[in-house]
Amino acid sequence: MAAGKTNTVESGLVLGRMALINAARQSLSAAGYAEVQTPILHRKLSGFEKGSGFSTFSASLGERLWLRAAPELYLKRMLVGLQGQGVNKLFEMALCVRDEFDETNPREGFDRPEFTLLELYAVEKDPASLEKLLRKTIDLAVKQLEKRRLLKSPEAKAGAKSLRAPWERKRYSDLLKTIDPKFDLELLLQPKVKPAKGDRVALHAAALESRANDAALRDASAALAYKTGGLEAKLRTGPQGYWYDYIDHAFRTKVAPKLAGPVVVYDTPLESSPLAESEDGIHAQKWDLYHNGVRIALGQRELMDANAQTVRFKHLDTLRRLGYGLLPEPDEAFLDELKKWPQTKPVIGMGLYMDRLAGSLFGIVAPDGSGQERILPNLFKSR
């Protein structure tokens, strides 16, 4: 911090963020979720799609370790280890660190380097049920914040009212048509060859390989991305460009900032989540919640088949070797644990970005992520 310069800690925001976290804990406990803790130091940088991480060296272990970017793989391993012991729902309020800033596209660097991520997993089938749980959690938090008079500003009152309003549901492909009405993602994603019904491994392998080599899909996606601008700086990986990078760029640049919300976006492509289940090989069984241009939560049916997950990891590894900066890295220890999971038990999971939710609730966070530093005073920028 520059000499003579100070930043005032906004006590209402700091206390409000902690009240929000406490309300989330109460809501999940009432719903039967057990709170757990998983390691902060990981042997693999994994659990999210893009970016880089922070590492350290352990003299006692004699190896390089990564600071946690997400608790997902360890939470799933814990769920596997606890099967048969009556623990079918668990969550962690995890402090995570990521180094995602990209000066060519600030939306890629949404979070500050350290942030709080609530992740939960339950042995259930329908990921849409997590929307109801999230609504209950937000409602409880708003009531407690109002009781403590922590929602006094006009921005906070508006944010709370908006989040408690009815949630819209919009299909991903329909939202992309707002950029170009002629861009038909659903048609482009239709498989050329359909694998045997019920063979999840073959389904995922054939779908991923087919789309990765589909020139028509890549060219149409690239054309859509070019309409949004900034393409040259954003997509500088890979020899020809990866089709999903193109449409993801278009969505983040032109669609997401306009989602006033709350809006639940569904039917994203399978490639949007490397750890999500898919029944058709086309769409991930997943939803994302946006509010005022900010993605604050996601829920999905988890891919708990070790063989199918191996296919997904190998696909990402192949793309990485071509120059794409995609994560997670293959994690053999995770796959070994996953082999123990009975396939008759479906699992759903949700990630909730607590700092984004707090900033959105208090009406201080912008679509590019700015404003979060007001509730994380240790991360103020120097002036």
Q: What is the tens place of the pLDDT at every residue in 38-80?
A: 999 988 876 655 557 788 999 999 999 988 989 999 999 999 9
DSSP-H helix ranges across the chain: 11-30, 72-81, 129-147, 154-163, 172-176, 185-188, 200-212, 215-226, 231-234, 243-250, 306-321, 332-338, 354-361
Task: Average the pLDDT over each of 141-150, 162-171, 241-250, 286-295 and give the range with the smallest value.
Answer: 241-250
pTM summary value:
0.90
Domain carrying residue 193: 11-379
pLDDT at res. 123: 96
Question: In 3D, which of 99, 129, 103 has the Cα closest to residue 114?
Answer: 99
Residue 1 in any domain: the answer is: no
Of the pLDDT bands very low, low, confident and very high (cuts 50, 70, 90), residue 100 is low
- Answer whether residue 167 shows pLDDT above 90: yes
Amino acid at residue number 237: T
Total structural domains in the chain? 1
Q: What is the pLDDT of residue 89?
A: 97
- Cα 33–345–70 angle (5° rounding)? 50
**CATH code of the domain containing 125:** 3.30.930.10
Residue 361 pLDDT exceeds 80: yes
- Which pLDDT belongs to residue 197? 66
Q: Is the pLDDT of residue 130 over 50?
A: yes
User: Would you tell me how many other CB atoms lie within 10 Å of the CB of residue 313?
Assistant: 20
Q: At 378, is the pLDDT very low, low, confident or very high (cuts 50, 70, 90)?
A: low
Name the token pair of 185: 């993602």
Residue 189 lies in a domain: yes
Q: Is residue 368 part of a domain?
A: yes
Does residue 184 form part of some domain?
yes
Residue 2: inside a domain: no
CA pair distance 211, 70, nearest whole angstrom: 28
Instruction: Please determine, for residue 189, whether its predicted confidence score (pLDDT) is greater than 50.
Output: yes
Structure confidence at residue 13 (pLDDT): 85
Count of CB atoms situated within 10 Å of the CB of 6: 9
User: Residue 3 falls within a domain, yes or no?
Assistant: no
What is the predicted pLDDT for the residue at 48? 59
pLDDT digits (tens, 9 = 90+) for 250-285: 998 899 989 987 999 999 999 999 899 999 999 999
What is the three-state SS of 39-50?
CCEECCCCCCCE
Q: Give the pLDDT score at 19.
A: 92
* Token pair of 190 as six digits: 């239709």
Whether 6 is in a domain gets the answer no
Q: Apex CA 149: angle with CA 147 and CA 154, to 5°? A: 125
> Residues 235, 220: contact at Cβ < 8 Å?
no
Whether residue 4 is contained in a domain is answered as no
Give dist(CA 52, CA 257) in Å, integer: 24
